[in-house]
Amino acid sequence: MKVSFLKGTDDQLKAYSKYINKAETDIILASWNVNYIPELIFSSLMAAKRRGVYISFVVNSVKRKATLDFFENDEEEESTFRLFETKSHAKFLFVDKQYLVLGSFNALGESFEDTEDASFALVGSVPQLWPFYMSLYETYTSLGEDLGGIFDGIAMISKVRNPGTRPLLERRFNDGSRIFLLRTLKEHEDFLKLATPYNGKVTIYSPFSTKDNTFKRLKTLESILPNGTQVHLKVLKQFENGLTRLLSSVPNLKSHAHVDVATSHQKIIALGEETLSVGSLNWLSAAQDEKDLYKNVELSIVLQGSKAAEIIKQYYKN
């Protein structure tokens, strides 16, 4: 299995188009909502539709219903399009169970053209990517909703045969690097609390900041980080002053933390030199409790080891 890092809008557009163009059987595309789809991705999706590829969208809402008309089949034809609306904030593309792109990019129209996004792209055989496919399937079926055929029947059979909760998905590479998938808020919180104290520097890219959730996150960081840890909190310009005020209320963290402005929509945590989390969770503003009424499905990929070190050195060295 190969892992690559995508940074910036152009990288996302080219990767999404490239893998959609390879589709032979099925495409699952998750985004915050459906609006105006970028032209490059839209053209690739239309070509896939003409090839008879099954296309599924997983979204929180539909802002522009007219966009869906392009994907519907004529009444006499078998439908090759599925739409699943649910409490999901995840952003990913899964093609033929061989190509997975997962990160912060909203490919169905709610992208931020003037900001950067980040994603990991995983490419491999069906057996190599199947555990990721099943992990996503179980993440959404855990909501108790009908997936409407978005995941295939083999996934359903596999779940019947193995009805237990799937453990944290982790894979290792020959160089000692490892990669794992965070699917639940608990898994995200456990990762942060267990991994953060052992790194001398913490950088969090979280574009948005809200009063209550951000203050709770700052208190958590205060409780788990040694005083010598350098902390960099990266937000959009409009949230800089609010975050700075909240940080002033957490003095033991403020003494070794800095608020920086970043023109970025990416959701990143870089820990030390060799741990990088990339995904959809806004670490400073999102819900942090499974019982929170406003929580959504959030997905992140964590890469640790020399592969992550190369990316951190190139993109996240303060």
Give per-residue pLDDT as tens, 162-185: 777 777 889 999 999 999 999 999
Q: How far is residue 307 from each of residues 120, 173, 193, 311, 314, measured CA to CA in Å? A: 12, 10, 22, 7, 11
- Of 15-19, 102-106, 143-147, least confident by mean pLDDT is 143-147
- Of 16-20, 123-127, 244-248, 314-318, least confident by mean pLDDT is 314-318
Asked whether 96 and 125 are in contact (CB, 8 A), the reply is no
Q: How far is residue 180 from each of residues 35, 139, 146, 295, 309, measured CA to CA in Å? A: 31, 15, 27, 21, 16
Q: Could you tell me the pLDDT band of residue 113, with boundaries at 50, 70 and 90?
A: low
Give the integer Cα–Cα distance in Å for 214 and 4: 31
pLDDT digits (tens, 9 = 90+) for 269-281: 999 999 999 999 9
Report pLDDT for 75: 66
Asked whether 201 and 229 are in contact (CB, 8 A), the reply is yes
Query: Tokens standing for 296?
Result: 């959504």
Average pLDDT, the chain: 91
Q: Which single residue is written with the structure tokens 């592969």? A: 307
Q: What is the pTM of this model?
A: 0.93
Instruction: State in Å, rounded, how far the first CA of the chain is from the last one.
Output: 30
Q: What is the mean pLDDT of residues 286-303?
A: 89
Report pLDDT for 289: 84
Q: Could you tell me the pLDDT band of residue 151, with boundaries at 50, 70 and 90?
A: confident
Q: What is the mean pLDDT of residues 292-305?
A: 91
Asked whether 67 and 45 are in contact (CB, 8 A), the reply is no
Helices (H), the chain: 9-21, 39-50, 66-69, 126-141, 153-161, 185-195, 211-224, 240-248, 251-254, 306-315
Report pLDDT for 198: 86
Burial class, 247, CB count within 10 angstroms (exposed 0-12 / middle 13-18 / buried 19+): buried
Residues in contact with 197: Cβ distance below 8 Å, sequence separation at least 6, in sequence order: 224, 225, 226, 229
Task: Return the C-alpha torsion angle 90, 299, 173, 126, nearest 10.
Answer: -50
Give the integer Cα–Cα distance in Å for 53 and 96: 10
Q: Which single residue is written with the structure tokens 């959809």? A: 280
Burial 203-213 (b: 16+ CB within 10 A, else e): bbbbbbbbeeb
pLDDT digits (tens, 9 = 90+) for 51-84: 999 999 999 999 999 999 999 876 667 788 999 9
Report pLDDT for 148: 60
Cα angle value 264/266/267 (rounded, 5°): 130
Number of H helices, E strands in the chain: 10, 15
